[in-house]
Structure 1
Amino acid sequence: MKADNTQKNNKPKNKRSLALSYTSLPIVLAFYYAIVVNIPIYNNFYKILSGLDNVHLSFIIAIPLFIFLLNSIIFSVFSWPYIGKPIFALLLITSSMVSYVMLFYGINVDYGMIENAFETDVSEAASYLNLHSFTWVTITGVIPAILVALVPMKPGLGLLKKTISIITLFALLLFLLFFTYKDFSAVGRNNSYLKKMILPGYYVYSTYHYVRDTYFSTPITFKHIGEDAKIVVKNTDPKVNEKPTLFFFILGETARSQNYALNGYAKNTNPYTEKQDVISFQSVHSCGTATAVSVPCMFSQQGRHDYDKQRSYNQDNALDILQRAGVSLLWKENDGGDKEVAKRIPKVQIDRSHDNPFCNGGTCLDMALLQGLDSEINAMKGNEKLVVMHLMGSHGPTYYLRYPKAQQKFLPDCQSSEIENCSTDQIVNTYDNTIVYTDYVVSQAIDKLKALSNQYNTALLYLSDHGESLGENGLYLHGVPYAVAPDFQTTVPLILWMSDGFKKSKNIDESCLKKAAKNGDFSQDYVFSSLLGIMDVQTTAYDKNLDIYHACRS
């Protein structure tokens, strides 16, 4: 009987030895975050410290210790029965995703990146999924989250013990900072972005603010602007103004100006439009480094420095004013959405089904935008017509899906979404192939306008939303905060083509416009008034100083 009792008593002890308390669980998680999850920030610290002359070993040790103590305190605050495990499991999975993006693409996940992630579509999000990212997230996020979910917990909260633990951890953190503050301050002052890299802190903070601003903020009353808008044709000569206007605005995706042969790039990435007598603007800056910012910003009256998302979404944009004035509009979408810019005008979403020869079921080549365009233009009412086509363009990391095999001009390319495993030359070649294909699509759109020039005075403007990093300084893709973003992410191509009839009807001095394109400095702030101006819409909302055509129209 005694032996049996001993055996029974031993079993609960073994079970309890595997269990964690709500005081010890945050410590274990903080240790894991300090050793594994925050590898990206250690990678950056290594680059910084290797460039310094004198680095104390104590400071190197203090870095992970600081992250451990900080996260121990934060995790302890949220470590309670019923809510602790779900919170930590979610944090582990999302942190592993963020860690992957930071480590392999060099992207800090801030408010703008969270906004872009929430507003992307399924196909675009799927382009980031590959064996490498799946393995990383599974090993560093999903498996630890499962372990947290399954680990037995000791009964009871131990509030006093937990409070003492938090106070002790906080005291240790202060003690650490007391002896290393000078080192942290010196490095942090010159590299302020480092505080945004500590996981899970900044991306959780950014997510909270995005959700609050988007779903829980006080609704803003919609503001109408340009209510006096009307079409006032400046050239009344019936000989040159006998035909209505047809204008194509092609909105590009992720194209950077530096890789355009028209702007001096060594490789011929514009073999099609170079034969179309286009005007290429040499210096044009984007409003943001992500679609979610640049697209609504360029069509709004607000400039980059004044842009506010909520105000932009609740105010008339250029398209609304054009429609009010009597211009017939159509938006054709092949990217991740119009970001509410085309919310109040006719819109066509490209069907991504396998029935479309340009689509594979998940994504479509941009030539799909030109399908059915003739009948769609004929169905547009009114004389003055403007068609916006939103390209998939050069959207990464699946650059290789943006062009057909026939457009593999530059080889070897990277036939994978795992661009971190491709060489720099392969990545650049693949990206350049997307530029060539976009050039082909734009040229085909110009040919279509030429074919319609007996019916309309035609013109086309192509402008990308933002640029892209292709490994320069360890950065890939886009989305870096504008204040520190490289020119590769903020300098975009702008190409203009006009028929002879269009130039005459709008009184455009082409040589003047070519000179401005070569020597001027422009931005997406010019889109709003340029569209109103070139479509001859008169309104107090128009600003002639932000119209790229104004100075060259007699």
Structure 2
Amino acid sequence: MKCLLSICHKEISYNLFILAIAVYFGTVLNIPLWLAFYEILSKLERVNVGFVISLPIFIIAALNIIFQAFAWPYISRIFFGILTLISAITAYASYQYGVIFDYGMIENTFETNSSEALSFLSFSGFMAFFVLGIIPCCIIFFVKIKKQSFFGKFIMYKIISVIVSIMVIVLIASFFYKDYVSVGRNNKYINRVINPSYVYTGIKYIDETYFTKPIAYQKIGLDAKLVTTATSNGKPTLFVFVLGETARAQNYQANGYPRPTNQYTQSDNMISFKNVTSCGTATAVSVPCLYSAMDRNNYNKQVAYNQDNFIDILHRAGISMLWKENDGGDKGVGARIRKTTLKRDVHNPLCDGESCFDMALLNNFDQEVAQMKGSKFITLHIMGSHGPTYYKRYPKDHTFFTPDCQRADIENCTKEQIVNSYDNTILYTDYVISQLIQKLKGYSDKYNTALFYISDHGESLGEGGLYLHGTPYSLAPKYQTTVPMMMWFSKSFTQDRGLNLTCLEHIANNAKRGDYSQDNVFSSMLGIMNVKTSVYKPQQDIFRQCRIN
């Protein structure tokens, strides 16, 4: 504390104040960047020592130039104080979980609800925030800065500081230009690791989300209509679409995982596609993309939010729709149909005031089905395996794999504990699905029943130093981009649709990575629900080749 007070009592020049901030950002708050450079350079056969030494100097000089643009009396302390606090959080997240704050992660951060945000709180996180953010912020606010007698002199010193920094960068470039170009071209993600590069991305997101005029809403599939097939038995359909959260395909027993994570649905003859890829690595991208008519390669957020998705088209064709939410939001997908959100009331034995176990989605299921007319399509958006508080996704009496990780700062748990907790979430999801199937079996005399389950994206559990999800797609490991896709059909449903399950199972078992993805969902849902429309793409319907009609 005495050391802190002595620093604050010293009077320094404005330029030294900004340079000190640039040094702090360039070294301490960019530790994740230096770790990334270490990993890159350690793989090279030869490394120029001078190039390595120049890296922090280059970053500090560049930051000094940028920071000088925001260094003005009356605003600089507030600006750099806030910047330091936010950057401390991003530095910690990048260091502990391998998070890269690109556009997708910024979008995911802004759209995270309070319950999800609170799940990231931990003692180690608070201490890191205190040391990296609050203490430096206090120094920024209380350190004494020399007052310039003339404004012209103040400007002159700023210009000199910028010129010197430019000269340093030019000098470094003259010696190591080839090294910088080589590393930059081969590791294009590296600029997104620099702290605080998130500022530019954040401004871009805010501008596009809140200040850019939205495009006109476009209705598609206006010709959609239900058709009757030759095999029709005349019964209406009851279809349940389970939208998963953060489940990765690699931890599914049905996909070859050695642990019994699908023991509840084993006897239900579910069909599992093993190599399905996601549209994104975060909910904010994957969910609207999955439901849209667009593919991952041409996905556009503005279009997705302002265009009909397959739910809208099914609804237009005369199918009764219901969306039940337990994961913090539908990302606009269910905006035009009936939607209910679970109340996280502490009086509900399946809720704790902050979140609910997914079994709560089955409450009032029978009443809700009774209130719907004709053929019915119900979406259940589950909490699934949302981290880092995996242990909060399953009740204590469903703790099958032990020891599990009973804390939010999963980096302080062992690898075994993390995997056990995560596998418990997969097993609990399997239990919820098995209970849904039992309910659907009870409706077999009245409806053609079916269930379809797919997760929005996967999850990293420490492989390669990465945790959670949201890594830029081009860099993301397969654990974040490979998702489970499973389905169950009643006997009357398969007969009504002319669906050959042996054929479908053969396709599922022999599919290679890249054969099927979330791009297939749009047309597959239109097809299996017998909705005819011009926007249907038969080549993307996974059921088409296994149907008689």
Q: Which residue, 295, 300, 312 being the options, matches 2:292?
A: 300
CA deviations on 1:131-169 (whole Å, 9 max, x unpaired) are: 111111111012212321233333344111111111111
Matching of residue 551 in structure 1 with residue 545 in structure 2: yes
Q: Which residue, 453, 460, 483 being the options, matches 1:462?
A: 453
* Partners of 1:22 and 1:81 within 8 A in 2: no
CA distance in 1, matches of 2:390, 2:121: 13
- Superposed CA RMSD in Å reads 1.6
Which runs of 4 or more aligned residues in structure 1 lie more than 4 Å from their structure 2 counterparts after TM superposition?
A: 14-17
CA distance in 2, matches of 1:270, 1:318: 29
Shift of 1:214: 0.6
Shift of 1:277: 1.1
Residue aligned with 2:241, SS? strand
Identical-residue share of aligned pairs (%): 51
CA distance in 2, matches of 1:16, 1:402: 46
CA distance in 1, matches of 2:334, 2:294: 17
Normalising by structure 2, we get a TM-score of 0.95
CA distance in 1, matches of 2:9, 2:311: 66
Shift of 1:72: 0.8
Q: Which position in structure 2 is the counterpart of 1:44?
A: 36
CA, structure 1 residues 328+65, in 2 after alignment: closer, same or farther (shift >3 Å)? same
* Partners of 1:16 and 1:154 within 8 A in 2: no
Q: Which position in structure 2 is the counterpart of 1:505?
A: 496
Q: Which position in structure 2 is the counterpart of 1:171?
A: 167
* Partners of 1:261 and 1:269 within 8 A in 2: yes
Q: What residue identity is the alignment partner of 1:45? A: F
Where does the alignment leave 5 or more consecutive residues of structure 2 unmatched? 1-5
Matching of residue 100 in structure 1 with residue 92 in structure 2: yes
Matching of residue 213 in structure 1 with residue 208 in structure 2: yes
Matching of residue 442 in structure 1 with residue 433 in structure 2: yes
CA distance in 2, matches of 1:33, 1:283: 41
Matching of residue 232 in structure 1 with residue 227 in structure 2: yes
Matching of residue 523 in structure 1 with residue 514 in structure 2: no
Shift of 1:253: 0.4
CA, structure 1 residues 23+530, in 2 after alignment: closer, same or farther (shift >3 Å)? same
CA, structure 1 residues 532+15, in 2 after alignment: closer, same or farther (shift >3 Å)? closer
Residue aligned with 2:14, SS? coil
Matching of residue 483 in structure 1 with residue 474 in structure 2: yes
Shift of 1:218: 2.4
Residue aligned with 1:466, SS? coil
* Partners of 2:7 and 2:139 within 8 A in 1: no
Q: Which residue, 134, 139, 144 being the options, matches 2:136?
A: 144
CA distance in 1, matches of 2:450, 2:230: 17
* Partners of 1:330 and 1:386 within 8 A in 2: yes
* Partners of 1:295 and 1:339 within 8 A in 2: yes
CA deviations on 1:520-552 (whole Å, 9 max, x unpaired) are: 321111111111111111111111111111111
Q: What residue identity is the alignment partner of 2:543? A: Y
Q: Which position in structure 1 is the counterpart of 2:360?
A: 368
CA distance in 2, matches of 1:236, 1:407: 42
Residue aligned with 1:254, SS? coil
Residue aligned with 2:474, SS? helix
Shift of 1:16: 11
Q: Which residue, 386, 394, 402 being the options, matches 1:395?
A: 386
* Partners of 1:331 and 1:388 within 8 A in 2: yes
Residue aligned with 1:497, SS? strand
* Partners of 1:384 and 1:535 within 8 A in 2: no
Q: Which residue, 331, 337, 342 being the options, matches 1:350?
A: 342
Shift of 1:15: 12
Q: What residue identity is the alignment partner of 2:70? A: F
Q: What residue identity is the alignment partner of 1:348? A: T
Shift of 1:92: 0.5
Normalising by structure 1, we get a TM-score of 0.94
CA deviations on 1:413-466 (whole Å, 9 max, x unpaired) are: 111111111111111111111100010011111011011112211000000000
CA distance in 1, matches of 2:173, 2:139: 33
**Matched ranges for 1:317-332 at <5 A:** 317-332=309-324
* Partners of 1:250 and 1:462 within 8 A in 2: yes
Matching of residue 192 in structure 1 with residue 170 in structure 2: no
Q: Which position in structure 2 is the counterpart of 1:5?
A: none
Where does the alignment leave 5 or more consecutive residues of structure 1 unmatched? 1-13
Q: Which moved more, 1:17-26 or 1:248-257?
A: 17-26
Q: What residue identity is the alignment partner of 2:175? A: F
CA distance in 2, matches of 1:438, 1:479: 22
The total of aligned residue pairs comes to 536
